[in-house]
Amino acid sequence: MWPRVAAVSTRLSVHTLGIGTLGLVAFAGRACAPVSPSRCCPRSPRVTVVCHAESVAHVLRERDPVAYHKRAWLDDSCRPLESRLRDCTLSSDGISTSLSVADEMCHIVDKDPDGKILVIVSPLTRTIFATCMLFHRLALWRDVCVVVDPAAMEVVNEPHDLVENLGRPMEDVFEELTEVLQARNAPVGAFMLLEKLRGAASHLDADWWFHPTTPTALPMRVYEGGMDARAQRLRKSVQEHVSRTGDVVRVFVVTHEGVTCALNDGVMPESSMFVVSNFFE
């Protein structure tokens, strides 16, 4: 069953749900900047970047770093969901944390004008799941459009990455999450979003995460050195999605720690949810 949670305030304490526990906290940011006439609405939509809450990988890495690093490069797809690293899901605490701030996501857009809410999501399981939890209430009363975009996924090493950052066929992801939501008697809005996300992911190939390489191309860490390029690609991709969708008044990007760091000038943000006031500049 889903945990019973009290309504949250419009501003949550960093000490209660801070980045250290990968909780989601209230945003802080300046008003968005003026935009050029070529953009799809009179002002640029405000972009709120959201890092998913605690995952199975976070739990194992904190509990037993040695065991985590032994398994980090190995395919453990046969393991139970609650201990699998390959394209891992949210932990139990991560699910509860995400669900507990669903009201907060509604408060964030209270003063936004009428128009579309665009949610851009990394295709990995933990971000798909987090999106269903975070926006299940918002989806019932606002026009929420979703996009599943690999530009928002985590990248630590190339051309081969840790198994937690290796995707799976999207149909496998959606079948798995449907069973999880049903088993937990999830809110109706979560199922609505899952179906929207399924449709939004239909353009991805079955092996969408794989990039052809050469036999001599060994894994190299690109987490720090590739931040600027990844941030630039994501900004461009988000702008294209905004233009294509039209009438967008707010954008949420549901992503990972490394991506939030890249969008914050290489510095880990103080909270797991923040507004990037100059996102399109």
Query: Is the pLDDT confidence value at 278 over 90?
Result: no
Distance CA 201, CA 110 (A): 28
Average pLDDT over residues 168-172: 98
User: Cβ neighbours of residue 128 under 8 Å, at least 6 residues apart?
Assistant: 121, 122, 148, 173, 174, 177, 194, 197
pLDDT band at 89 (very low <50, low <70, confident <90, very high): very high
pTM of the model: 0.85
Cα-based distances in Å from 241 to 4, 54, 196, 257: 35, 28, 16, 22
| Predicted pLDDT at 175 | 98
Respond yes or no on whether the N-terminal peptide bond of residue 159 is cis (omega within 30° of 0).
yes
Per-residue pLDDT of 103-126, as tens digits, reads 999 999 988 889 999 999 999 999
- Please choose, from the candidates 190, 189, 204, the residue with its C-alpha nearest in 3D space to the C-alpha of residue 140: 189
List the domain boundaries for the chain.
19-54+91-204+221-276
pLDDT band at 280 (very low <50, low <70, confident <90, very high): confident
| Predicted pLDDT at 129 | 98
pLDDT band at 171 (very low <50, low <70, confident <90, very high): very high
| Predicted pLDDT at 128 | 99
Query: Is the pLDDT confidence value at 259 over 90?
Result: yes
Q: For residue 36, what are its two tokens?
A: 């050029």
Weakest-pLDDT range from 56-70, 159-173, 192-206, 216-230: 216-230
pLDDT averaged over every residue in the chain: 86
DSSP-assigned states of every residue in the chain: -PPP-PPPPSS--TTTS-GGGT-------PPPPB--TTSSSSBPPEEEEEE---BHHHHHHHH-HHHHHHHTTS--TTS-GGG--TT--B-HHHHHHHHHTHHHHHHHTTTSPSSEEEEEE-SSHHHHHHHHHHSTTGGGTS-EEEEE-GGGS--SEESS--GGG----HHHHHHHHHHHHHHTT--HHHHHHHHHHHHHTTTS-TTTT-----TT---EE-TTTTHHHHHHHHHHHHHHHHHHH-SEEEEEEEE-HHHHHHTTTTS--SSSEEEETTTT-
At 166, give phi and psi (nearest 5°): -95, 125
Q: Which residue has the tokens 């949810």?
A: 273
Q: How many CA atoms lie within 13 A of 160 on its CB side?
A: 12
Average pLDDT over residues 189-197: 98
Per-residue pLDDT of 214-258, as tens digits, reads 989 999 999 999 999 999 999 999 999 999 999 999 999 999 999
Report the CATH number of the 19-54+91-204+221-276 domain. Answer: 3.40.50
Q: What angle do CA 130, 144, 248 make, to 5 degrees?
A: 120
Residue count (the chain): 281
Asked if residue 234 lies in contact with residue 12, where contact means CB atoms within 8 angstroms, the answer is no
Per-residue pLDDT of 131-167, as tens digits, reads 999 999 999 999 999 999 999 999 999 999 999 999 9
